[in-house]
Amino acid sequence: MIGILFPISLFLGGFAMVFGIRYLSNKEKMAMIERGINPGVGKSAPKPYLSLKFGLLLVGLGIGLLVALSIVRSMFGGEMTHAETSQAVAVYFGCLGVFGGLGLIISFLVEKKAMEKDKF
């Protein structure tokens, strides 16, 4: 019974959420138009390096996973006990954080270099 009701309620909940967000967004824009405010004004400025940031973050996360896999395989080998499994999970999360952060730092340095180049 739960196997049937869960997907249906998940679909209906998702649909209601999307519908509600769109409905409230439309009401907000209509209220702004009635008050004489341009609804397009106030949107955030374009972010030209956003794709670079996400790309380097994902590359860093991928490299982190590969490094974590090689560390876990070299340290623990075949069968692992429960304690070793929890240590392996810590290695995975640690490598993801470190290499994801390195990707974001590299993105920052590339953006900073481009901004300094555009100033002159």
51-107 pLDDT per residue, tens: 889 999 999 999 999 999 888 888 887 778 888 888 888 889 999 999 999 999 999
Q: What is the 3-state secondary structure (H, E, C) of 35-92?
A: CCCCCCCCCCCCCCCHHHHHHHHHHHHHHHHHHHHHHHHHHHCCCCCHHHHHHHHHHH
Looking at the chain, the whole-number percentage of residues with pLDDT higher than 90 is 47
pLDDT greater than 70 at residue 46 = no
Task: Give the model's pLDDT for residue 88.
Answer: 86
* pLDDT score recorded for residue 45: 64
- Res. 44: pLDDT tops 70: no
Task: Tell me the average pLDDT across 15-22.
Answer: 96
Are 68 and 95 spatial neighbours (Cβ–Cβ below 8 Å)?
Answer: yes
Gap between the Cα atoms of 97 and 91, Å rounded: 10
Q: Which of 18-27, 41-50, 68-77, 95-104 has the lowest mean pLDDT?
A: 41-50
